[in-house]
């Protein structure tokens, strides 16, 4: 295929989201594909698919198919019976946890080993098939005040297991787009420049909350009082 044909053609990547129920997999997939966050989610039965097209440096078009795997259990639980079907042919497997949940983080060991078991080296035509990339995603970073998994623990686990690492908030959108863009770049063997990364950075909206002047004046001198307060929600 010539260079120009390769530019026009589109690569497809299968990216599978795994992790305990409630960590925010559906929210991440919906945020990435639809740019929205819906407060009320019902647990995902089976698997849902989200498709997003993106372009990487060098006019390389990519279609990212996100597999949002539902189910209540962890790698040893109800999901594991179907896990082999979900991870088959995956280009990347994303292990998601909630930064406020100790158990969701600890269960990632089981998710990871269940995946590795199903992905035991296969050969096709005598050629060893390349396994998927693995990534560790810390979700709900908007809940910093409730964080129980510190970033050094996150990085240690990633380093011990050779995982790419990201931190996101499906709620605010922070880091979500960039996370998928970086995974796609990794799969293509491309390095994203600072400018490329900035393009995919989400501006987190800080709501301006206007308090009534008299409430702010209570117990304070008016000289130090501002009428608008910036709050990140
Ligand atoms: P799952 O698909 O992994 O099971 P969901 O998880 O996407 O259904 O999310 C579970 C709950 O976490 C949902 O709340 C969702 O709104 C919330 N959530 C997901 N991502 C974030 C995030 O980044 N920040 C915060 N603060 N909450 C998040 P409910 O209330 O519907 O259970
Ligand atoms: Mg879900």
- Above pLDDT 70, what percent of the chain? 72
Q: Is the CB of 44 under 6 A from ligand 1?
A: yes
Q: Is the CB of 22 under 6 A from ligand 1?
A: yes
212 occurs within a structural domain: no
d(CA 168, CA 114): 24
Range of the domain at 99: 3-204
d(CA 19, CA 97): 6
143 occurs within a structural domain: yes
Give residue 24 CA to ligand 2 midpoint distance, Å. 7
Please give the average per-residue pLDDT across 8-35, as a whole number: 93
* Residue-wise pLDDT tens digits, 141-153: 999 999 999 999 9
Domain total for the chain?
A: 1
| Residue whose CA is at the smallest distance from ligand 1 atom 31 | 40
Q: CATH no. for residue 110?
A: 3.40.50.300
CB atoms near residue 3 (< 10 Å): 8
DSSP string, 23-74: SSHHHHHHHHHHS---S--PPPPSEEEEEEEEEETTTEEEEEEEEEE--SS-
Q: Is the CB of 41 under 6 A from ligand 1?
A: yes
226 occurs within a structural domain: no
Ligand nearest to the CA of 173: 1
110 occurs within a structural domain: yes
* Residue-wise pLDDT tens digits, 31-45: 999 988 876 666 667
């Amino acid at each position: 295929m010539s260079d120009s044909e390769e530019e026009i053609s589109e690569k497809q990547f299968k990216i599978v989201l795994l992790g305990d129920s409630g960590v925010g997999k559906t929210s991440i997939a919906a945020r990435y594909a639809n740019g929205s966050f819906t407060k009320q989610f019902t647990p995902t039965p089976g698997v849902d698919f989200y498709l997003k097209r993106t372009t990487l440096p060098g006019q390389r078009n990519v279609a990212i198919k996100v597999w949002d795997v539902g189910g209540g259990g962890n790698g040893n639980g109800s999901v594991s019976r179907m896990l082999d079907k979900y991870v088959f042919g995956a280009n990347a497997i994303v292990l998601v946890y909630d930064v406020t949940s100790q158990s969701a983080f600890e269960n990632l060991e089981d998710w990871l080993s269940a995946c590795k078991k199903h992905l035991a080296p296969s050969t096709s035509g005598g050629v060893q098939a390349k396994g998927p990339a693995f990534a560790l995603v810390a979700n709900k970073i908007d809940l910093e005040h409730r964080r129980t998994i510190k970033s050094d623990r996150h990085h240690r686990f990633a380093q011990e297991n050779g995982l790419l690492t990201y931190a996101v908030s499906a709620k605010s959108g922070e880091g979500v787009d960039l996370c998928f863009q970086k995974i796609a770049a990794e799969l293509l063997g491309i390095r994203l420049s600072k400018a490329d990364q900035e393009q995919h950075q989400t501006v987190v909206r800080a709501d301006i909350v206007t308090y009534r002047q008299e409430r702010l004046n209570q117990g304070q001198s008016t000289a130090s009082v501002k009428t608008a307060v910036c709050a990140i929600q």
